[in-house]
């Protein structure tokens, strides 16, 4: 089966700083991969590369077998994206946003949009500049899921949300994964391991711009020698392991 995303030897720099360094990663269809890593390890940069917003300096990117920079429309019509912060024009409200996005996605599902809006209690007439962070994130999630994407990219969507809203958003994501016959591939960047434990099929650990580990959460936890793991990540993994035990 063809992988949805194939990254090979990906290198990105900001000036002299190397953010991604020879990153190679494949996402199989229908899998939920959680991208783990501390702040500044290149998770958001990887998302930007996948969205065709940033041009990598080295390596190749293939999404659905296509280069997202060359075939931007063909690729991005099949991708849903939720940023870490709502980046929509501040004067827009949810109604404007959906009206603006609908013609851009041939697969836009108005019914699903309405359903999700109702489910997540999205304020339709509030401008983004007046929305709370939680309201904004829920609106962005609805916008990302309404196009019925084959690939869902989540860039730390739960960061900074209060527990209730966080759970609402998470339920929205999980609901989308279960909803319908379509197989959705998800790449979720986060540093919250409890989220990873709840949704991840596979975990990719980014460290210093390189793919440090890639496998199931159990594989990652089993392979890692505690002494070799950076202290922050070690703590994160330990927290995740506890959460997994609780969940099991």
Least distance to other proteins, CB of residue 209, Å: 18
Task: Give the three-state DSSP class for 153.
Answer: strand
> Given the complex with other proteins, which of 88 and 113 has the nearer CB atom?
88
> Given the complex with other proteins, which of 84 and 194 has the nearer CB atom?
84
- Asked if 77 interacts with other proteins (CB under 8 A), we say yes
Please count the helices (runs of H) and the strands (runs of E) in the chain.
Answer: 9, 9
Least distance to other proteins, CB of residue 73, Å: 4
- Asked if 91 interacts with other proteins (CB under 8 A), we say yes
Measured at the CA of 76, the angle between CA 72 and CA 81, to 5 degrees, comes to: 135
- Asked if 54 interacts with other proteins (CB under 8 A), we say yes
- Asked if 72 interacts with other proteins (CB under 8 A), we say yes
- Asked if 52 interacts with other proteins (CB under 8 A), we say yes
- Where does residue 29 rank: exposed (0-12), middle (13-18), buried (19+ CB within 10 A)? middle
What does the alpha-carbon distance between residue 192 and residue 20 come to, in Å, rounded to a whole number?
21
Nearest to 40, CA basis, from 208, 214, 199, 247? 208
CB under 8 Å to 137, separation ≥6 — which residues? 82, 86, 157, 161, 165, 169
- Asked if 104 interacts with other proteins (CB under 8 A), we say yes
Least distance to other proteins, CB of residue 151, Å: 13
What does the alpha-carbon distance between residue 134 and residue 62 come to, in Å, rounded to a whole number?
32
Q: Which of 4, 5, 81, 158 is the binder for other proteins (CB under 8 A)? A: 81
Least distance to other proteins, CB of residue 12, Å: 11
Give contact residues for other proteins (rule: CB under 8 A): 48, 51-55, 69, 72-77, 81, 83, 87-92, 96, 100-101, 103-105
């Amino acid at each position: 089966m063809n992988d949805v995303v194939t990254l090979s030897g990906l290198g990105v720099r900001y000036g002299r700083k190397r953010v991604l360094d020879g990153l190679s990663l494949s996402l199989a269809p229908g899998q939920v991969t959680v991208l783990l890593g501390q702040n500044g390890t290149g998770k958001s940069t990887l998302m930007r590369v996948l969205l065709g917003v940033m041009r990598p300096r080295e390596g190749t990117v293939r999404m659905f077998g296509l280069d997202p920079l060359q075939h931007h429309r063909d690729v991005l019509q099949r991708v849903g994206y939720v940023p870490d912060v709502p980046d929509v024009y501040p004067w827009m409200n949810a109604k404007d946003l959906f009206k603006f996005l609908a013609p851009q996605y041939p697969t836009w599902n108005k019914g699903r949009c309405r359903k999700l809006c109702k489910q997540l209690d999205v304020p339709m007439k509030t401008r983004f500049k007046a929305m709370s962070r939680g309201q904004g994130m829920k609106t962005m999630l609805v916008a990302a899921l309404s196009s019925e994407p084959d690939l869902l990219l989540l860039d730390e969507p739960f960061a900074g949300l209060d527990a209730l809203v966080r759970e609402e958003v998470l339920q929205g994501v999980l609901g989308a994964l279960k909803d319908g016959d379509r197989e959705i591939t998800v790449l979720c960047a986060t540093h919250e391991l409890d989220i990873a434990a709840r949704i991840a099929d596979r975990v990719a650990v980014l460290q210093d711009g390189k793919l440090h580990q890639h496998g199931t959460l159990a594989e990652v936890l089993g392979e890692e020698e505690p002494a070799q793991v950076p202290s922050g990540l070690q703590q994160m993994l330990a927290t995740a392991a506890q959460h997994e035990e609780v969940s099991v």
